[in-house]
Amino acid sequence: MTIGHRFNPTILREYDIRGVVGSTLTPSDALALGRTLGTIAAAKNGRIAVVGYDGRTSSPVLEEEMCRGLAACGLYVIRIGLVPTPALYFTSKVLDAAVGVMITGSHNPPEYNGFKIVMNNRPFFGQEIQQLQDLAYRGVWINRPGGVIQSDSMSAYVARLLKDHKRGRQLKVAWDPGNGAAGEATLRLARGLPGDHVVINEKIDGTFPNHHPDPTVEENLEQLKQTVLEEKCDLGVAFDGDGDRIGVVDNEGTVIWGDQLLAILARDVLANIPGAPVLADVKASQVLFNEIERLGGKPVMSPTGHSIIKSKMAETGAPLAGEMSGHVFFADRYFGFDDALYAAVRLIGYLGSQSKSLSELRQELPSMVNTPEIRVDVSEERKFDIVSEVKERLAAEGADVNDIDGVRVNEGSGWWLIRASNTQNALVLRCEAENDAELAQLKQRAVQQLTASGVGIQVEELG
């Protein structure tokens, strides 16, 4: 019996492969993954692979082994170097590659790294990732002569971003790529766009010396807020560690959250494509779904997960989609994958076409009170069972429940959500209402259900 390679099972996530370098993730994992993905692609007559990597200190050695594994299966591997993840998606799409692999730890701390995968320009996730364990362990890999070619894709990628900029009034923009992989692309983009631009934390540094590269956490946007206010900018834009998630700050230094951003972008898209479906994840505010409907679009609620949303966009023909986490997907004039830099270009173009400021556009949206995303640690073995137990109890009560991803319960003027995280040993909670009194009641309802399933949490912990 041929024995190949066994991955630490904790690194095989729902949407990607991710672990702690030197502990759960090693260069030998990269080599075995390359050989396994190369075998899958070669068996379907695939010829081209594209590989990029982020700015983490561990990325170059993982990239080297990944390329070696893919080439050993007879593929011609295009190495595009240090790029943001959307540049990898773009290059894979343009070259019609059989497989694309981005070596990245995304927004995780510096000791993490991993792999985001596309196969034939489709998201590679869920059961496909889980099956890699068995395929690698069997070790029945194709052995054919391949090759490795170094190529620059950054120039073509940035040129494509600039192509869709809609000229209007010139704006002053602050940018914060957070010392992540989007640093160089951000500088090139700022040089190519009209208006004035202030770029901070542009030097790519995998230790992330200035702040953690996760723009969904408000404290990570403090430098950007300060820059916007000091420099009197029209807006500020931040990216996560690999450039596929966006954070936005308006001219008053107020954060525009993911669902608010999508509501603003939907105005532009639906004006050009009336009646189109727009997708958002189950964590998004009801304000967003109502706004899409008001604009004449068809709101579609989706399970959380960028790979799931990309697949559902293809199914529904939606020109726009987004998540609370800052993933924004444009199929309108673009390719339908999550690209934070492209989203920034479209936002700047739309704002430049308006006489109103970004803060005024934000203030036009109905005001709700809500909690942030709250993560409650539970065991991996229990998290999905807890959600099922809550669902059964709610069904017995006759509650108004949307169960496409966990349970989203409509009550009064608002809703509350409990879902199992696909990437962590945790439950995710969120509540929203028209006023503080109703929000307190919804928090209490969520806590009661968790308590009934043996999860210890107090209402005060829900923000």
Model confidence, pTM: 0.94
Which entry of 58, 106, 153, 302 is annotated as an active-site residue?
106
What are the pLDDT digits (tens) for 61-100? 999 999 999 999 999 999 999 999 999 999 999 999 999 9
What are the pLDDT digits (tens) for 91-138? 999 999 999 999 999 988 999 999 999 999 999 999 999 999 999 999
Q: What is the CATH number of the domain that holds 110?
A: 3.40.120.10
Considering only CA atoms, which of 38, 33, 87, 43 is closest in space to residue 65?
Answer: 33
Percentage of residues in the chain with pLDDT exceeding 90?
90
Residues 164 and 296 grouped into a single domain: yes
Predicted pLDDT at 425: 84
Percentage of residues in the chain with pLDDT exceeding 70?
98
Annotated active-site residue 92? The verdict is no
Domain around 435: 369-462
Please compute Rg for the chain using Cα positions: 22
The span from the CA of 141 to the CA of 233, in Å, is 54
Secondary structure class of 409 (helix, strand, coil): strand
Which of 318, 335, 363 lies at the terminal end of a domain, its last residue? 363
Q: What is the CATH number of the domain that holds 455?
A: 3.30.310.50
Q: Give the CB-side neighbour count of residue 307, counting CA atoms within 13 A.
A: 19
Based on DSSP, count helices (H) and strands (E) in the chain, helices before strands. Answer: 14, 22
Residues 113 and 166 grouped into a single domain: no
- Domain membership of residue 417 (yes or no) is yes
Which of 363, 385, 406 lies at the terminal end of a domain, its last residue? 363
Q: How many domains does the chain have?
A: 3
